[in-house]
Homo-oligomer: A and B are copies of this chain.
Amino acid sequence: MATIDDVARLAGVSIATVSRVFNNSPLASDSAREKVLKAAKELGYEPSMLARSLAMKKTNTIGLIVPDISNPFYAEVVRGIEDICNIYNYNITLCNADNKRDKELQYIEMLKNRWVDGIIFHCDYFSEEHYEIFSSRNIKVVLAGRTTTFDVPYVAIDNKKAAYDATKYLISTGHKKIGIIHGPLNGMKETVDSVDRLIGYKNAMIDAGLKIYDELIKEANFKAKGGYKAALEMLKGDIKPDAIFAISDVMAMGAINAIFDFGLKCPDDISVVGFDNIDLSEVMRPALTTIAQPMYDMGVVAARMLIKIIDNEQISNKQVILEHKLIVRDSCKILK
């Protein structure tokens, strides 16, 4: 591969001039520019970003730590991130950490050693340990899809309010015995999706003067099978729900199948609302009523924010909450 020296030699100029030409410096005469470009073309030369990164101490690379890219939610967020990075000429280094603390730390270390300009971080819960490592190492970071009480930039949605809205919709359509299928609770810390959404659900029930039955609160694993099992348990219990709020679409799908396999119908016998608005929620039958999360936009905003931080640009609001939206489809019956 041709290097800057080769080009300089062939063009009969110094490497400084070659460098100037390739960086569009005004300090390069047209004649020099011409000679350099010609020589470069002849040699098939392109500057090595690697060497440039070392010299400039800037890699134009962003590290991306997600729990699992095969989860459609993250895949969509990542897509938004990548599109923005592409526009601003950044690369992304992808890491799957499975929400495991040691993997996360290992990846953060690795990304730092590769001099990434910043990190977009996704996790279940942003702990003090996370905060420590990022701030002690002076790593520029923004959280995506997660809020935190620490002074760290993030872009997310208001999970409490979103769950409140979903539950309220169920209530407003005449449902009273509303069950919820949430995800792992991890010892009840706020800012965790499941915890916040559970709170939102309870608040809505309380505000409506409805009774909250412990039997109608089930934990699952965010997967379809988990939703299926949780729903089945609920259906077999003593308190029969007239509606189920599953805090992810995939679990909602599982719940609908459980209802079906239990010999009941959705929405005729039991209404279901989901959360996320993944592609399939529109396509399944019954089409799923759900809370739409702006996944792609989350990625876009997070990436844009991080790039601004890297460029030391002023940012008006470092902690942004994106709007969620209730999408009414067919999985919820109007009872009154």
Contact = CB atoms under 8 A, between A and B. Distances in A.
A114 B50 contact: yes
- Chain A at the B interface: SS class: helix
Nearest to A77: B70
A83 interface: yes
A38 interface: no
Nearest to A224: B283
Contacts of A260: 285
Interface in A216-268: 223-225, 228, 250, 253-254, 256-257, 260-261
A54 B54 CA distance: 8
Contacts of A75: 69-72, 75
Contacts of A158: none
Contacts of A256: 285
Nearest to A256: B285
B79 A96 contact: yes
Interface in A90-111: 91-96, 109-110
Contact of A280 (B49, B82, B83, B253): B253
A141 interface: no
A157 B50 CA distance: 36
A115 interface: yes
Given A59-B50, A69-B82, A72-B72, A283 B93 contact: no
A140 interface: no
Nearest to A53: B50
A328 to B, nearest CB: 18
A61 B49 CA distance: 13
A109 B46 contact: yes
26 contacts: A46-B109, A47-B113, A48-B115, A49-B110, A49-B113, A49-B114, A50-B115, A54-B54, A69-B69, A69-B75, A69-B78, A69-B79, A70-B72, A70-B75, A70-B78, A70-B296, A72-B75, A82-B94, A83-B96, A91-B93, A91-B110, A223-B279, A224-B280, A250-B283, A253-B283, A254-B283
